[in-house]
Amino acid sequence: MKRIRSHSPVATEAAKLLGQNIRLARQQHLWTLQELADRVGVSKITMIKVERGDLTVGLGIAFEAAAVSGVPLFTADRSRLHLEADRLDDRLALLPHAVRKRQIDNDF
């Protein structure tokens, strides 16, 4: 039996926006759906799902479609991605490695 999963409106809108950006970039490159699918290494049906913002498509596939078509992820300056990742690694290093459950006393 297939598991039905619900997604928040924010996730749904973000996926739709990414898909629309990928579709626009593909059309600006004058590529067919099949040409972009071939470049990404997926089927035409999967590429249709990416462009529609279907949240069942793998994150890696959606990101690869964006990268191949030239849609910026997180920042328009690709060199900043590495810098941002390093900055976040530094911040994460300051936090505990494991998160423990805490009992919170809500009795007021």
- pLDDT class for 107, splitting at 50, 70, 90? low
How many CB atoms neighbour CB 51 within 10 A?
A: 22
Query: Does 75 have pLDDT greater than 80?
Result: no
Can you give the pLDDT at residue 1?
67
> What's this model's pTM, rounded to 2 decimal places?
0.78
Q: Which domains does the chain have, with CATH numbers?
A: 9-93 (1.10.260.40)
- AA letter at 39: R
Question: Under 8 Å CB-to-CB from 48, ≥6 apart: which residues?
Answer: 33
pLDDT tens string 20-58: 999 999 999 999 999 999 999 999 999 999 999 999 999
DSSP state of 66: H
